Amino acid sequence: MSAAIPGTMKAMILYGKNDIRLVGDKPVPAPGPGEVLVRVKACGICGTDVKIITKGMPTMPPYGQFTQGHEWAGEVVALGPTVDEFKVGDRVAVEAHKGCGRCRNCISGLYTACLNYGDLGKGHRASGMTVDGGFAEYAVHHVNALFKIPDNVDFVQATWVTTLGCAMWAADTSGGYLAGDTALVVGPGPIGLAMVQALKGLSAGKIILAGTRKERLDIGGFVGATHLINIREDKDPLARVMEITGGAGCERTYDCAGANGSFELCLRSTMRGHPLTLVSFFKEPVPAAFDYAVLNGIQIMTVRGEGGINCKRALSLMSQGKADTSRILTHTFPLERFAEAYDTFVNRKGGAMKVVVLP
């Protein structure tokens, strides 16, 4: 390691439920074989972070040691043994998941569904979830999960690739190329807006976005939705979808809200014989008219995480100017003001959509 790299660093550490603190003396990690050490420049706060802070997560490192943050980008400062894919000074974005590379799923490319999830000894890691992540000055990650950032994308923008990568993976999972097809996205939060961007980037025909918050729907229109449905004002959103699609429904629907009503709207809006894809997590079980799905040959798919090297594609969309983050990455704070950043994100202060921390 070069002399310029200090022995200790500033980092956020999770000490218990709702107890996350800044420390100034966490040891800087050393990159192992196949890993690089990155000087973190930006790290987004995600709904998953809120879940981990408020409830914990079974596969996370112990309280008192664990540094979260899985949506990060920075500059390579040291290379572990065998690394020749990157050099010191490279600007990199990460995808959180690095599969074990040895299980049945990893061998066939399904590394976000790794059968050794959380087993560090077998080579799996999910940055900021099962190992330390980017709410710190430095972090290590494996070369498999790092992507060079194009020159015209900055570090803050590059934190968006994990979210946009999930949306690209959802588009891929739901059947691949989409040019000219009509899609419905329900839920204009970060993942729903990323979904709109992905669909737009893949040249979907009509992109219908439905949700309850006008400000968020407006951003959806800005990033590519061709039709907006405000569920609060429009008492019959399904009728609106049918009107827009000439009664046939949508070739693709994406539930990015994870609620009872959103599932039902997606299901009934899906064209006969076409897929409904669940992109967001559900807070609780929802009753579902599966009979409708069976009778109409509607395939129900799910995605979790980025998968399919889609962070690379997400970076490309951003570099091509096809995924504008200017109204999505609304706030930045230095690491020292993490508490304020977290409060801004959780309580959606000042119209906050995504909040990015700068270590």
Half-sphere exposure of 150 (CA within 13 A, CB side): 15
Residue 128 near residue 134, CB atoms below 8 Å: yes
Query: Closest CB to Zn ion among 32 and 109?
Result: 109
**C-beta of 110: minimal distance to Zn ion in Å?**
8
Q: Under DSSP, is residue 330 helix (H, G, I), strand (E, B) or coil?
A: strand
Residue 159 near residue 71, CB atoms below 8 Å: yes
Query: Closest CB to Zn ion among 78 and 100?
Result: 100
Q: Please identify the residue of the shown chain whose CB is closest to the bound Zn ion.
A: 46
**C-beta of 100: minimal distance to Zn ion in Å?**
3
Q: Give the Cα separation of 271 and 298 in Å (integer).
A: 8
Q: How many beta carbons lie within 10 A of that of residue 88, not counting itself?
A: 12
Q: Give the Cα separation of 267 and 48 in Å (integer).
A: 25
Residue 184 near residue 241, CB atoms below 8 Å: yes
Query: Closest CB to Zn ion among 23 and 346?
Result: 346
**C-beta of 168: minimal distance to Zn ion in Å?**
14
Map tokens 């070069």 to a residue: 2
Query: Closest CB to Zn ion among 184 and 311?
Result: 311
**C-beta of 134: minimal distance to Zn ion in Å?**
11
Query: Closest CB to Zn ion among 74 and 237?
Result: 74
Kindly compute the dihedral angle of the four CA atoms of residues 113, 115, 120, 124, in this order, to the nearest 10 degrees.
Answer: -40
**C-beta of 106: minimal distance to Zn ion in Å?**
3
Stretch that binds Zn ion, among 22-30, 109-117, 219-227, 285-293 (CB under 5 A): 109-117
Query: Closest CB to Zn ion among 118 and 175?
Result: 118
Q: What is the pattern of x (binds Zn ion, CB under 5 A) and - over residues 297-336?
A: ----------------------------------------
Q: Give the Cα separation of 344 and 200 in Å (integer).
A: 29
**C-beta of 355: minimal distance to Zn ion in Å?**
12
Query: Closest CB to Zn ion among 134 and 224?
Result: 134
**C-beta of 249: minimal distance to Zn ion in Å?**
30
Is beta strand 8-16 parallel, antiparallel or unpaired with respect to 19-27?
antiparallel
Sign of CA dihedral 182, 184, 188, 190: negative
Site for Zn ion in 17-46 (CB under 5 A): 46
Query: Closest CB to Zn ion among 251 and 255?
Result: 255
One DSSP character per residue, 278-292 reads E-SPPSS-----HHH
Q: How many beta carbons lie within 10 A of that of residue 80, not counting itself?
A: 17
Edge-to-edge strand ranges of the sheet holding 207-211: 227-230, 207-211, 183-186, 252-255, 275-278, 299-302
Determine if 69 is a binding residue for Zn ion (CB under 5 A).
no
Residue 357 near residue 334, CB atoms below 8 Å: yes
Site for Zn ion in 89-108 (CB under 5 A): 99-100, 103, 106
User: What is the size of the binding site for Zn ion (CB under 5 A)?
Assistant: 8
Site for Zn ion in 113-132 (CB under 5 A): 114, 116
Residue 159 carries which side chain, given as an amino acid letter? T
Q: What is the pattern of x (binds Zn ion, CB under 5 A) and - over residues 156-195?
A: ----------------------------------------
Query: Closest CB to Zn ion among 128 and 224?
Result: 128
Q: What is the pattern of x (binds Zn ion, CB under 5 A) and - over residues 43-62?
A: ---x-x--------------
Query: Closest CB to Zn ion among 114 and 315?
Result: 114
One DSSP character per residue, 197-218 reads HHHHHTT-S-EEEEES-HHHHH
Sites of contact with Zn ion (CB under 5 A): 46, 48, 99-100, 103, 106, 114, 116
